[in-house]
A and B are shown apart, each in its own frame.
Chain A
Amino acid sequence: EVQLVESGGGLVQPGGSLRLSCAASGFTVSSNYMSWVRQAPGKGLEWVSVIYSGGSTYYADSVKGRFTISRDNSKNTLYLQMNSLRAEDTAVYYCARLGHYYGSGSYSLAFDYWGQGTLVTVSS
């Protein structure tokens, strides 16, 4: 059974740092595309970052230069290092697997497995 479990959220002051973890089971993180998606309180979903199986990483403009996505293959765990945090980074952070789908000559990508989320609150 595929499972994603996030941890590491909490209350942090503006300008501070936090590292989120996402422990995966039922599949291999390093063989998949993995992402972080966040949701501010009462708001919609916002994509944050992705790491490809080959190791390439990409970020939303809102977090570029402040957040770093990484993985530990030995622990089958995904991370998000968040630095220079701002009030607008307050959100529930979800890790999600970006699944590949093949059929009828087409190729699709979609977030097919999600963790339960971890809340990050940036406030003084």
Chain B
Amino acid sequence: EIVLTQSPGTLSLSPGERATLSCRASQSVSSSYLAWYQQKPGQAPRLLIYGASSRATGIPDRFSGSGSGTDFTLTISRLEPEDFAVYYCQQYGSSPPSHTFGQGTKLEIK
């Protein structure tokens, strides 16, 4: 079973700053099956990035994803007030089919 470890657990930044969130897999993951989600309190998660680097529909271009193998990164170039939330990475494994989420990174206002 693949384990996804996100770091840091909490990231404290100010609006306008750049955020870099990490997701490390316990073994190599197909980039095609690596996604990132944003979740605000009391809301369902929202898809941000699929295929490690493709933005979902309606996602601003300040959000970008990168990485391959075991190391993936979500970058928010300039933080807006509405970006402060919890972010999860997620991967799909095919044998047998299963999905794994990281434990999340909380992005809070400094």
* Interface residues in chain A, defined as those with a beta carbon under 8 Å from any beta carbon in chain B: 35, 37, 44-47, 50, 52, 58, 60, 94, 99, 101, 103, 106-112, 114-117
Contact = CB atoms under 8 A, between A and B. Distances in A.
B102 interface: yes
B26 interface: no
Given A103-B54, A110-B56, A111-B90, A44 B47 contact: no
A36 B98 CA distance: 12
| Chain A interface SS verdict (over half) | strand
Contacts of B104: 44-45
A35 B88 CA distance: 17
Contacts of A103: 51, 54
B54 A101 contact: yes
The 7 closest A-B pairs by CB, nearest first: A110-B50, A108-B51, A47-B99, A114-B44, A110-B35, A45-B101, A58-B97
25 contacts: A35-B99, A37-B99, A44-B88, A44-B101, A44-B102, A44-B104, A45-B45, A46-B101, A58-B98, A99-B50, A101-B54, A103-B51, A106-B51, A108-B51, A108-B54, A109-B32, A109-B33, A109-B50, A110-B50, A111-B45, A111-B47, A111-B99, A115-B44, A116-B44, A117-B44
Which of A94, A109, A117 has the largest count of B CB atoms less than 10 A from its CB? A109
Contacts of A110: 35, 47, 50-51, 56, 90
Nearest to A113: B47
Nearest to B48: A110
Interface string B27-47: 000011101010100001111
Contacts, number: 71
B47 A108 contact: no
Which of A37, A44, A45, A116 has the largest count of B CB atoms less than 10 A from its CB? A45
A117 B98 CA distance: 20
A47 B104 CA distance: 14
B100 interface: yes
